[in-house]
Amino acid sequence: MRSSFLLGAALPFTHGIRIIQSNDDGWAEVQARTFFSSLSATGHQVVLSAPAENQSGTGSSDATPTQVDADGCQYQSCPGGSPATGTNSSDTRLNYVNSYPVTSIKTGIDTTGPNLWNGAEAELAVTGPNVGSNVGPQAPFSGTIGAAVYAAHTAGIPAIAFSGRTGDPTAWNQPVPLQSQVYADLALNVTSTIIKSGTPYLPSDVFLNVNFGEVTSSKCTKASDFKFIATRINTGLFSAPDADYCGSTRLPWEADVIYLRSACYATISVGDANDKTTADAARQKVVLDKLKPILSCL
């Protein structure tokens, strides 16, 4: 497979931080590749380790990788009968794992990343941007979130899951859709803000669930049109108070903001990697303080 997204491919691994990336839509999906290019162009040492095929909705499933079947990887990105794990011949930072998203990011964290980083470990994990939202009741079933939760909870690596409401599955070698570039720019903004805030990037056992609203040809056409809103993963009707944000101790529900409001919004929920629900107020506050430069009120 030959990638058309090689911005930064020639850069030596001497700048930025080490980032492992995965998704559940597949390693050849244009949305993940566009974000990979944005991160790489900024100087980060990014390694993509994602499923050989679309594995949407597989949650936290994990299984030993197997040989690719006769149909090959998605979008004919590897031939039938290829090994259980493989690498792009023109850019070894792009890797597939013929299994679930959790297995893919685990392989990247344990093996692929360290092999390219001279034995060093990932400093941050990012997943997506997913093709389609992952809000509220969708969270437990999302492979994009499942991979981020594995990184945060099991591997102890701060993790951010990104998802975008607009778009359809698209191969890496097609023209980059408008929403894919907008979502990559938004994801880079969040990632850069967290990195700039300093280590530890996130509290222990915390992941961020970030969702981007709808992009159309006439609305929300660039990243600067969006406002970032702090939200909750679950509604929290009977939960303890949230961190104080915009004069309230009850954060809005991410599903309400993404689906029921017409403005250009992106939601950021502080998730508990133990159970994929909303983290407690103390950990919310730590994260919201880090994100303060980009957060807005509804």
pLDDT band, very low/low/confident/very high, at 15 (cuts 50, 70, 90):
low
On whether the CB atoms of residues 43 and 15 are closer than 8 A, the answer is yes
Q: Which two tokens stand for residue 263?
A: 């403005």
pLDDT above 60 for 6: no
Domain layout of the chain by residue ranges: 18-296
pLDDT exceeding 70 applies to what percent of the chain? Answer: 95
Query: How much is the pLDDT for 1?
Result: 35
Give the confidence band of 54 by pLDDT, cuts at 50, 70, 90.
very high
CB atoms within 10 A of CB 155: 17
The identity of residue 20, as a single letter, is I
Confirm if 127 and 101 have CB atoms less than 8 A apart. Answer: yes
* Residue range 197-231, pLDDT digits in tens: 999 999 999 999 999 999 999 999 999 999 999 99
Tokens matching residue 206: 């915390």
pLDDT > 90: percent of the chain: 92
- Per residue in 92-108, pLDDT (tens digit) is 999 999 999 999 999 99
Q: What is the pLDDT of residues 156-179, one digit of tens each?
A: 999 999 999 999 999 999 999 999
How confident is the prediction for the chain on average, in pLDDT?
Answer: 94
**pLDDT classification of 4: cutoffs 50, 70, 90:** very low
Tokens matching residue 235: 């509604």
Q: Which CATH superfamily is domain 18-296 in?
A: Survival protein SurE-like phosphatase/nucleotidase (3.40.1210.10)
